[in-house]
Amino acid sequence: MRKKPIVAANWKMHKTRGEAKKFIDALKEKDWSGTEVLVAPPFTSILDAKKAAERSMIKVGAQNVSEHEEGAYTGEVSAKMLKDVGAEFVIIGHSERRRYFHEKHETVRNKIENALRHGLIPMLCIGETQEERENGTAHKVIERELVQTFKGLSEEKMGSLILAYEPVWAIGTGLTATPEIAQEAHLLCREILSEIFSDAYAKARPILYGGSVKAENAGKLLEKPDIDGFLVGGASLEVASFEKILQEARGG
Ligand code: PGA
């Protein structure tokens, strides 16, 4: 039987507290029990989103977390603080964080460890750039990202982890990876995870696809055996477009 598809909204730097509440209030009116619905608001709206999501199946998380436990790190938000406002998962290593905030593998690894220590599910994002896809190094890049990120981490410590394959050239561009390209990358991720950890661990990991996902391409992508759901940016900002993706995910 197919796993329940996971559909996660990454709101990026959008939505005030009131807007977040309004979105979740509308979303929870419908029964989404065929899917796992995750929403990652900006830090300031997490608590309101969480309250709005009470008595629903919607899980609320964050888009980032500090690599440090606590201390003099002006502007940072710790895993403990995220847990305190009710976050259940956290997006880590998104390509926008790597590009604009220069996050390196080691930072990403520290964030994953911090998240796990505080009982947050890390959602690790990886993916190649357009140049890497064009010059044929995409698979090498994916492998390097996974190997470097998980260096020194043991399976016992890892526990829950969600992986998101997000080719940088597909994020916010309207260019979605074809189901074949995405499937190939997802299978590769699973094989690499199986080499680093174990076959059983790799098989159990949900691997989401992200990059210009919309209702029109969601169904075909989900038909592929190693695509377990989506991380959605632009199309998650309006309730209507997000709901259409959820409908596709649960089979129309
Ligand atoms: P997009 O963003 O759906 O707007 O391409 C996806 C993401 O950045 O997670």
Q: What percent of the chain has pLDDT over 90?
A: 95
Residue 167 pLDDT grade (very low, low, confident, very high; cuts 50, 70, 90): very high
- Residue in 94, 99, 166, 238 to alter for ligand 1 test, most ligand atoms within 8 A of Cβ: 166
Ligand 1: does its nearest atom lie under 6 Å from the Cβ of 213?
Answer: yes
Residue 202's nearest CA partner among 150, 250, 239 is 150
Ligand 1: does its nearest atom lie under 6 Å from the Cβ of 172?
Answer: yes
What does the pLDDT read at residue 47? 98
> What is the C-alpha separation between 153 and 55, in angstroms, rounded?
35
What does the pLDDT read at residue 1? 42
Strand segments, DSSP code E, in the chain are 6-10, 36-40, 59-62, 89-92, 121-126, 162-165, 207-210, 229-232
Question: Which range is least confidently modeled, 140-149, 150-159, 220-229?
Answer: 150-159
Q: What is this structure's pTM?
A: 0.97
Ligand 1: does its nearest atom lie under 6 Å from the Cβ of 119?
Answer: no
Q: How far is the CA of 95 from the centre of ligand 1 (A)?
A: 10
Is the per-residue pLDDT at 174 higher than 80? yes
> In residues, how long is the chain?
252
Active site residues: 94, 166
What does the pLDDT read at residue 2? 59
Report pLDDT digits (tens) over 188-211: 999 999 999 999 999 999 999 999
